A and B are shown apart, each in its own frame.
Chain A
Amino acid sequence: MSEPRIVDARGSFCPGPLMELIAAMKEIEVGDELEVLSTDAGSASDVPEWLDKVGHEQVANWEEDGVYHIRARKAK
């Protein structure tokens, strides 16, 4: 498995971390992983909500020094 592609959305109010992740998801292959970095606490819940609704896999979700990391695997 290759390293996850990093989507650095820190400080992004518009388009915001989830929109950045949705755009990046189109650019990777099924089975590949993304890791979105966000300074918006809302990302810890709204990114997993979208992943779940579409059917992609959340691999990990943690906060470190005020930065939220959500790692996801493209499932389809």
Chain B
Amino acid sequence: MKKILIVGGGMGGTILANNLARRLRKEIDDGEVKLTMLSASDRHMYQPGLLYVAFGKMMPEELYRDQASLLEPGIDFHVDPVASFNLGESRVRTESDREYDYDYVAVATGSQAKPENVPGLMENCHHVYTEEAALKTWEALSNFEGGKVAVVTGVPHKCPMVPLEITFMMHDYFADRGILDKVDITYTYPIGRLHSLVNVGKWAQKEFDRMGINYETLFNAKEVDGKQVHSEEGSTVDYDLLIGIPPHKGMDVIEDNELGTSGWLPTDRATLNIEGHDNAFVLGDTTNLPISKAGSTAHYEAEVLGENIAAQVKYGRRVRDYDGKVFCFIEAGKDRATFASFNYTTPPDPQPPTETVHWFKLAYNRLYWNSVRGLL
């Protein structure tokens, strides 16, 4: 029997598990393959929905499903997170002290927002990276009656469009409330333009100029002190309401096992192998690849690994390399959106935002539950 172990029940792990279960249906039913998932939670959250919670447009309950309900039959699912990895001997030990050996393992443990890594940021900023924080952001935005709003972005961070999206959405939110003339928004960004993607940055700059949104680039928050944010570069931004995109780290189990600095696993950019381990793979936020930490990244990586691991089990050879593909919707306000699609060799060319793309994004917020089942 071949044993395949998936560590992590987020978007990447779940798509991969369902993809493998379909490709290996006969082998699983015949007892020739055992497919096991170990996760930290019995619930699955649609994380991009938190941005909408922060504006009261989605309720938190809409973002959850029972994890077991998302999985294909035959997947052996346990809420029992891995505590230690022994990649050399192809086995892991869980927090309940159970041991699982494997022929193939895929690690998709994800990332975590760490606002506490910038002094003063956790105590003073609002963000959208947990349910509790998103609800508090909504409360703060709905109570805000005017003043200076600053948007501060840490490095690295999950979902690279959030800094722009939350800024555009705040602009329209305050306009709808009739207080835009009392609000002064300043968007900051760590590098010398408004977004990592050159074309997205150029487009955003025109939009910001049109909307009267201020911006300051080369701004990496060093500390938040009172009502000011001080940057590594020596500048200061004042605020009455601080929106933070906190710096992220990988999960503690990766660092605790000394597998990767800051919780990111060293990853082959084409095969998605954990470096030095032919039967171990990594996907989603957990990689140390220089690509966006985003749901679509995990999705595309999961499809590549699903094809490769299934083919390896059945035919002894793999199918294809991961090409670095990422696809990100970009909400450009309350009712317009565009998107960016790119890979290792081809930069994106975002088009002007439309209402159609915005509605497609809202549709995707519901279609996600088919996507994570591997149906879309």
- Residues of chain B within 8 A (CB-CB) of A27 are 261-262
Asked whether B342 is an interface residue with its Cβ less than 8 Å from the other chain, the reply is yes
- Residues of chain A within 8 A (CB-CB) of B292 are 14-15
- Residues of chain B within 8 A (CB-CB) of A9 are 290
Whether A18 contacts B191 in the complex (CB less than 8 A), given A9-B290, A13-B197, comes out as: yes
In this complex, how many residues of chain A approach chain B with their Cβ under 8 Å: the count is: 24
Asked whether B190 is an interface residue with its Cβ less than 8 Å from the other chain, the reply is yes
- Residues of chain A within 8 A (CB-CB) of B73 are none
The stretch among B90-98, B344-352, B363-371 that forms the contact with chain A is B344-352
A10 to B262, CA, bound (A): 21
- B192: contacting residue among A13, A17, A20, A46, CB under 8 A: A46
Minimum CB distance partner of A20 in chain B: B290
Q: Kindly identify, within residues 215 to 254 of chain B, every residue whose CB is under 8 Å from any CB belonging to chain A.
A: 218, 220, 232-234
Proximity bits, A53-71, B CB within 8 Å = 1, else 0? 1100000000000000000
- B197: contacting residue among A14, A17, A18, CB under 8 A: A14
B196 touches A16 (CB 8 A): yes
Minimum CB distance partner of B324 in chain A: A11
- Residues of chain A within 8 A (CB-CB) of B190 are 18-19, 22
- Residues of chain B within 8 A (CB-CB) of A8 are 269, 290
- Residues of chain B within 8 A (CB-CB) of A50 are 191-192, 218, 233
A54 touches B156 (CB 8 A): no
Asked whether A49 is an interface residue with its Cβ less than 8 Å from the other chain, the reply is yes
A14 touches B291 (CB 8 A): yes
Minimum CB distance partner of B344 in chain A: A11
Asked whether B179 is an interface residue with its Cβ less than 8 Å from the other chain, the reply is no
A14 to B163, CA, bound (A): 13
Whether A23 contacts B326 in the complex (CB less than 8 A), given A11-B290, A11-B345, A50-B191, comes out as: no
A42 to B196, CA, bound (A): 12
A48 to B326, CA, bound (A): 28
Proximity bits, B305-339, A CB within 8 Å = 1, else 0? 00000000000000000001010000000000000
Whether A19 contacts B261 in the complex (CB less than 8 A), given A14-B291, A14-B326, A14-B342, comes out as: no
B191 touches A16 (CB 8 A): yes
- B290: contacting residue among A17, A46, A49, CB under 8 A: A17
Given contacts A10-B290, A13-B348, A53-B234, 19 further A-B contacts (CB under 8 A): A8-B290, A11-B345, A12-B344, A13-B197, A14-B326, A14-B342, A15-B160, A15-B292, A16-B197, A20-B290, A22-B190, A22-B220, A23-B155, A23-B156, A23-B262, A27-B261, A42-B198, A50-B192, A54-B232
A-B contact pairs, 29 of them (CB 8 A): A10-B290, A11-B324, A11-B344, A12-B291, A13-B196, A13-B198, A14-B196, A14-B326, A14-B340, A14-B342, A15-B290, A15-B291, A16-B196, A16-B197, A17-B290, A18-B190, A19-B156, A19-B191, A22-B190, A22-B191, A23-B156, A42-B198, A46-B192, A49-B192, A50-B192, A50-B218, A50-B233, A53-B218, A54-B220
